[in-house]
Amino acid sequence: MSYRDLREFLKVLENENQLVRIKDEVMPEPDLSAIGRAAPNVESAPAVFVEHVKGYKNPVVLNVHGSWQNHALMLGLPKDTPVRAQFFELEKIWNRYPIKPTWVEKKDAPVKEVVIDKGINLFDILPLFRINEFDAGFYLSKALIVSRDPNHPDSYDEQNAGTYRIQVKGKDKVGIQPLPFHDIAVHLRHAEEKNEPLPIAICLGNDPVLSFMASTPIEYAQSEYDFAGALKGEPIELTKSESGLLDIPARSEVVLEGYIMPREREIEGPFGEFPGSYSGARSQPIVKITKVTHRKNPIFENLYLGMPWTEIDYLMALNTSLPLYKQVKRDFPEVQAVNAMYTHGIGTIISTKSRFGGYGKAVAMRLLSTPHGMPYTKVVIVVDEFVDPFNLEQVMWAITTRVRPDKDVFKILFAPGMPLDPSSEPAGMHTKLVIDATTPVAPDIARDTELLGTPEKSDEYTEIIRNLVQQLRKGEKND
């Protein structure tokens, strides 16, 4: 790909007319959150680079992943690549895993240009702002957090690079939310069993593929860095943290190093979360920041999240869909595609061929037993293989013409749920809903339904019409 880090990707976006710059000075509040909310509402939803924030010395960039055009460019595809095509391209490059990283000496790593180990004050380094009005404080919502399992400190594959919300609580103290099903929660549990601090690195302003993988539900012993290399087709550059205990991206903008204090909790939240509502306040672990490294003139990248669709929905759409697809397809090869783009997979659509009667229900239950589907997915819709799960008009056709509510809809009571979903009660418990919108096959009762065929040459003319539309758009821009 034609970029190695966030800075170079911003140049790609700018060259493709997918980045705009705000040169006038703006207030940190409410302007920055308003910009983050507004950008996805604009045609093509560009990234927004804010050059001057009142009271701060460093610039802010928002909405880097916040459109399908930006998402395609991240994958090295033409920016007008349709969503379905991006899904299958992602599947193809996913299979290049693993591509191992290359190592950069500390002295050569851009993120080590400035090292602060005394008098740390996050308010001097980061242009902090509340993402939503009633947030409990300033949040880092697009950080990549690195941790290792203290029971296996030398295991590279059991090192985790994940995204968890971070609340700034003081000049050198932050809070973190590790939910029980997150990998970092496993690391923290093992550390607290020994009453030991858990070293972590909070990396900000990353290669967009790293941000993509940090929010991807892969398996516990799989490396986000190796997957990011696979997606790029070339190794990610890593370097050692100042402590020497963790592997961090060499080209991040800012890295906050420290440790989670064992068996200590403080109130964290509320925070405006991805389902479009505020989460409650809960007792969460505390992180003491001991060192900060950053590039000269660092760019602060943050992410607005609220009622869909915002940047987080684009960021978590296909990276939620593809792992679920790969996991379910291993056992059910008839599965054609999985669309888990809706609220981080709380709503998921699966298309599959049916091998025998009731097959759609079995596919749904397999998805609900995956590591991500078990806590997150609440509503599953299963459609036939000829229904495009990324085309909601076709999905609604399947629901309205294939579903008998008395036999094709069922609930699973008191199942694991996502505590940030405001409908979970108690928090972390769901009633799952499955809608089987597939055409019945034997031994189920088949129906006398003759599907309309597709006129010959329709695919050929689809492409012709698509090209004509693109020419019209180019003409409008030239005018």
Task: State yes or no: cis peptide before 46, omega within 30 of 0.
Answer: no
Cβ-based neighbours of 454, under 8 Å, separated by 6 or more:
none
| H/E element, 50 | strand 47-50
Take residue 116 and report the two structure tokens written for it: 């602060």
Other beta carbons less than 10 A from residue 169's beta carbon:
18
Alpha helices in 297-435 (DSSP H): 311-315, 317-331, 359-367, 373-376, 392-402, 405-408
Take residue 154 and report the two structure tokens written for it: 């030398």
Take residue 235 and report the two structure tokens written for it: 């190794």
Asked if residues 264 and 286 have their Cβ atoms less than 8 Å apart, the reply is: yes
Cβ-based neighbours of 244, under 8 Å, separated by 6 or more:
none
Give the residue from 230, 260, 236, 233 showing the smallest Cα distance to 145. 260
Q: Which of 192, 237, 257, 273 is catalytic?
A: 273
Give the residue from 58, 89, 110, 79 showing the smallest Cα distance to 2. 79
224 assigned to active site: no
Phi, psi (rounded to 5 degrees) for 259:
-150, 150
The DSSP letter of residue 28 is I
What distance in Å separates the CA atoms of residue 150 and residue 245, rounded to the nearest whole number?
11
Determine the 3-state secondary structure of 264 from DSSP.
Answer: strand
Count Cβ atoms within 10 A of the Cβ of residue 23 and give its class: 0-12 exposed, 13-18 middle, 19 or more buried: exposed
Task: State yes or no: cis peptide before 199, omega within 30 of 0.
Answer: no
- What is the SS3 string spanning 269-322? CCEECCCCCEECCEEEEEEEEEEEEECCCCCEECCCCCCCCCHHHHHCHHHHHH
CA angle (266 as vertex; 287, 191 as ends), nearest 5: 50
Take residue 475 and report the two structure tokens written for it: 């003409």
What distance in Å separates the CA atoms of residue 344 and residue 63, rounded to the nearest whole number?
17
Phi, psi (rounded to 5 degrees) for 47:
-70, 155
Active site residues: 273
